[in-house]
């Protein structure tokens, strides 16, 4: 007998969602593993208690189709709705495009709103749990990902409000503050235009991201830590996991946020005047 059912979004191989699907399955849950393209989930379809489904969380038609399929298989109940799908691209704040910003907010926030509005009936019926793969990025102002950070901060505030609103229905809301984990998303690097104000820092910025990725936790270790807490009868409201999560938690608890600027400005090479301005200063 299954311990329950869980729908996980964003289960592409190598992602956090992929490892979450395997870990929930190992804990005897029936997993509905989803992503836009089933082929990208690799071997998940070979695991007996995992059902793979196509799901684009930004498409109402796709979400309704997944809801219909899952509802028929579960009798209209879902124990855990796990929001993991997301999108991240790098770029400097003053050079970020509105189109790229919309793509991030669409995947990281608006898609969540859509999925919740359609799957709420199944979660309420089971008095289940809604879980978010959040990010410590909502606290840490890492240069070159300002829009992504803004989307993650927005999701956290949404989740906190949702937690209060779902209390009357016995639904628990868990927000996972995720730090460095080695995934395909974490391997992305910034590519600056030739006329970028920050072109001279491109290699320095990418070196910083390489260092952060190298120190990241493996997705499988992360999944084991997180799932063990999520499946508790009374899970914590917040789970901090990933390399560096404890450091961010301590900084937030102590209120010493100046540390972020001190560390990141040096790590990303932003603690010195731009070469173009140095020439202007010397010329004057």
Domains and CATH numbers, the chain: 4-283 (3.40.50.720)
Per annotation, catalytic residue among 152, 167, 204, 253 = 152
Instruction: Give the per-residue pLDDT at 3.
Output: 87
Q: Is the pLDDT of residue 198 over 90?
A: yes
End-to-end CA distance of the chain: 78
Per annotation, catalytic residue among 18, 148, 198, 222 = 148
Q: How far apart are CA 248 and CA 279, in angstroms?
A: 37
Closest CA to 142 of 88, 183, 103: 88
Residue 213 binned pLDDT confidence (cut-offs 50, 70, 90): confident
Q: Please count the helices (runs of H) and the strands (runs of E) in the chain.
A: 10, 7
Query: In angstroms, what is the C-alpha Rg of the chain?
Result: 20
Residue 189 tokens, joined: 């690097």
**Catalytic-residue membership of 125:** no
Q: DSSP for 235-267? A: --SEEEESBTHHHHHHHHHHT-THHHHHHHHHH
Q: How far apart are CA 63 and CA 56, in angstroms?
A: 7
**Catalytic-residue membership of 152:** yes
Residue 111 binned pLDDT confidence (cut-offs 50, 70, 90): very high
């Amino acid at each position: 007998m299954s311990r329950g059912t869980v729908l996980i979004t964003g289960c592409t191989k190598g992602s956090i969602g992929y490892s979450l699907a395997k870990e929930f399955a190992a804990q005897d849950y029936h997993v509905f593993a989803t992503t836009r393209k089933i082929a990208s989930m690799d071997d998940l379809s070979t695991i007996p208690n995992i059902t793979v489904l196509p799901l684009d969380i930004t498409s109402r038609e796709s979400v309704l189709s997944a809801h219909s399929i899952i509802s028929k298989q579960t009798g209209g109940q879902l124990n855990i709705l796990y929001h993991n799908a997301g999108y991240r691209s790098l770029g400097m704040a003053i050079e970020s495009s509105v189109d790229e910003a919309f793509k991030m907010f669409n995947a990281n926030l608006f898609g969540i709103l859509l999925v919740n509005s359609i799957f709420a009936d199944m979660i309420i019926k089971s008095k289940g749990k809604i879980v978010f793969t959040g990010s410590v990025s909502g606290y840490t102002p890492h240069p070159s990902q300002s829009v992504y950070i803004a989307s993650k901060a927005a999701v956290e505030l949404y989740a906190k409000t949702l937690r209060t609103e779902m209390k009357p229905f016995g639904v628990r809301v868990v927000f996972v503050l995720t730090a460095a984990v080695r995934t395909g998303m974490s391997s992305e690097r910034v590519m600056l235009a030739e006329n970028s104000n920050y072109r001279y820092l491109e290699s320095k910025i990418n070196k910083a991201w390489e260092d952060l990725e190298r120190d990241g936790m493996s997705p499988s270790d992360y999944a084991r830590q997180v799932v063990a807490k999520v499946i508790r009868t009374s899970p914590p409201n917040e789970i901090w996991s990933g390399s560096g999560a404890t450091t961010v938690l301590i900084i937030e608890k102590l209120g010493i946020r100046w540390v972020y600027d001190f560390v990141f400005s040096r790590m990303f090479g932003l603690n010195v005047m731009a070469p173009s301005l140095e020439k202007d200063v010397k010329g004057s």
